[in-house]
């Protein structure tokens, strides 16, 4: 046993001495395994594509190609309001209580997206609402005065027209194919500092009942969206338009990582209607809806747990003439199931005025099929964030 211990201790001493010599003279041998010294294969080179000549090499996972493709189509929208024409000094009651006030012109800066080489620009309604002078500034420095072709306060969209040559129109994408986790870029003019690109992901889809617009189906993203980004583009990693940046959730006025964009599927339909007719035509039946909660369903002993409770019906309106009564629970509109107020608003709005629509309701525990002649939805002003139930 003693002899074995001596052999072991001598072996350890020699090994430590060898390691000391190697660490002193050839330290790189200790940083990789010995078999790696015999590996003479050349290193793997990752070839990067889609890079124009003379532009350098993009870093892995770079969004520069998408930004270069979409950014020229995003413009700054500078607006101003004639204070003399819209000021309150002409109101005698205002002058009586506050005296003569010096009128100050109001101005604002937002963003827009060139959607046609013919000069059509899509932006938010709240960017250009009540503004007298609207100027569009392209990323290449060109400027043009814009004319409002039409506006839709209920989706907060507006279409402008400018007269310039060689306009870089953006490519429309398919917002219905977006999934939570997809990478997106927000392009606009935040705080008027100039065109800015921010990156993030789609954090939620189909956001509604936020009290921002009447018709809501927002894409939620954590890409930084700040004041001035309104009307700008939300694009995918290939530079295709996925939405129009519209609003943020913020307590400070800056980005908190919750921004909302109007899907391009909605924006395109509204844009085409505004260009064609100057307005958006929607269906309307004249009811006051309310979400059916489990408490309400239990209180009234209703056999359904999803639907929209009708709390009021306009006298001699389309719904009243079709037989809808207060207390009915609407569960389907023209083959489209409805589970909440937002879905009812969208389903009715999609109907053409003048056509008959089959509406399924629950009444006193029984299913009732009704036929309602749809009317045209009256034009309304843009709702506020604290607005209550919308009349449909």
Same-domain pairing of 132 and 214? no
Same-domain pairing of 206 and 258? yes
Q: List, in sequence order, the alpha helices (H) in the chain.
A: 2-25, 64-70, 83-86, 92-98, 125-128, 264-277, 294-299, 318-321, 341-349
Same-domain pairing of 153 and 242? no
In this structure, what token pair is assigned to residue 211? 């009290």
∠ Cα 63 68 71 (to 5°): 105
Count of the separate structural domains present in the chain: 4
The verdict on residue 15 lying in a domain is yes
Same-domain pairing of 129 and 193? no
The verdict on residue 46 lying in a domain is no
Same-domain pairing of 87 and 103? yes
Same-domain pairing of 263 and 327? no
The verdict on residue 53 lying in a domain is no
Same-domain pairing of 19 and 90? no
Q: Which of 73, 76, 111, 126 is catalytic?
A: 126
Instruction: Indicate the Cα dihedral angle 121, 127, 133, 136, nearest 10°.
Output: -40
Same-domain pairing of 261 and 318? no
3-state percent helix, strand, coil for the chain, nearest multiple of 5: 25, 30, 45
Query: Which residues constitute the domain of residue 98?
Result: 74-161
The verdict on residue 227 lying in a domain is yes
Q: Mind listing the pLDDT tens digit of every residue in the chain (392 residues)?
A: 667 667 777 777 777 777 776 677 666 666 555 444 444 444 444 444 444 444 545 555 788 999 999 999 999 999 988 765 555 555 565 555 555 555 555 678 899 999 999 999 999 999 998 888 999 999 999 999 999 999 999 899 999 999 999 999 999 999 989 999 999 999 998 888 888 999 999 999 988 778 788 888 899 998 988 888 899 999 999 999 999 999 877 666 666 778 999 999 999 989 999 999 888 889 999 999 988 888 888 777 777 888 899 999 999 999 999 999 998 899 999 888 988 888 898 899 988 899 999 999 988 878 899 999 999 988 765 543 333 344 56
Residues 6+ apart with CB under 8 A from 295: none
pLDDT 10s digits, 56-71: 455 557 889 999 999 9
Catalytic (active site) residue 230: yes
Same-domain pairing of 271 and 182? yes
The verdict on residue 387 lying in a domain is no
- Phi-psi sector, 72: left (phi>0), alpha (psi -120 to 50), beta: alpha
Q: Which of 111, 175, 230, 255 is catalytic?
A: 230
User: What is the Cα–Cα distance from 325 to 311, expressed in whole angstroms?
Assistant: 8
List the CATH number of the domain containing 252.
2.40.10.10
Q: Which of 156, 222, 236, 328 is catalytic?
A: 156
* Last residue of one domain, picked from the residues 277, 308, 323: 277
Burial 130-147 (b: 16+ CB within 10 A, else e): ebeebebbbbeeeebebe
Catalytic (active site) residue 156: yes
Closest residue by Cα to residue 349 from 212, 217, 176: 217
Catalytic (active site) residue 222: no
């Amino acid at each position: 046993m003693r002899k074995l211990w001596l052999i072991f201790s001598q072996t350890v001493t020699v090994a430590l001495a060898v390691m000391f010599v190697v660490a002193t003279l050839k330290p790189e041998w200790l940083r990789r395994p010995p078999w790696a010294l015999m590996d003479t294969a050349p290193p793997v080179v990752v070839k990067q594509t889609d890079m124009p000549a003379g532009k350098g090499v993009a870093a892995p996972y770079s969004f520069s190609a998408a930004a270069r493709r979409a950014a020229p189509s995003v413009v700054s929208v500078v607006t101003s309001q004639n204070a003399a024409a819209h000021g309150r000094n002409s109101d005698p009651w205002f002058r009586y209580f506050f005296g003569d006030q010096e009128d100050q012109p109001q101005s604002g800066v937002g963003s827009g997206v060139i959607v046609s080489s013919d000069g059509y620009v899509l932006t938010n309604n709240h960017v250009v609402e009540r503004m007298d002078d609207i100027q569009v500034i392209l990323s290449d420095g060109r400027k043009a005065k814009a004319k409002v072709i039409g506006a839709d306060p209920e989706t907060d969209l507006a279409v402008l027209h400018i007269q310039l040559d060689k306009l870089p129109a953006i490519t429309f994408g398919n917002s219905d194919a977006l999934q939570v986790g997809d990478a997106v870029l927000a392009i606009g003019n935040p705080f008027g500092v100039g065109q800015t690109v921010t990156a993030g992901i789609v954090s939620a889809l189909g956001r509604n009942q936020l009290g921002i617009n009447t018709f809501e189906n927002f894409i939620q993203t954590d890409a930084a969206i700040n004041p001035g980004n309104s009307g700008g583009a939300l694009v995918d990693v290939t530079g295709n338009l996925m939405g129009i940046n519209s609003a943020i959730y913020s307590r400070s006025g800056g980005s908190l990582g919750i921004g909302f964009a109007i899907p391009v599927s909605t924006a395109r339909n509204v844009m085409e209607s505004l260009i064609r007719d100057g307005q958006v035509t929607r269906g309307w039946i004249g009811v006051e809806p309310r979400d059916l909660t489990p408490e309400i369903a239990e209180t009234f002993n209703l056999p359904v747990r999803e639907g929209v409770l009708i709390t009021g019906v306009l006298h001699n309106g389309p719904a009243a003439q079709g037989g809808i009564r207060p207390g009915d629970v609407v569960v389907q509109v023209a083959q489209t199931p409805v589970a909440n107020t937002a879905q009812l608003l969208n389903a009715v709005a999609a109907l053409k005025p003048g056509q008959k629509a089959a509406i399924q309701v629950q009444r006193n525990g029984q299913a009732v099929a009704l036929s309602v002649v749809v009317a045209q939805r009256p034009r309304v002003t843009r709702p506020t964030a604290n607005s209550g139930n919308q009349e449909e």
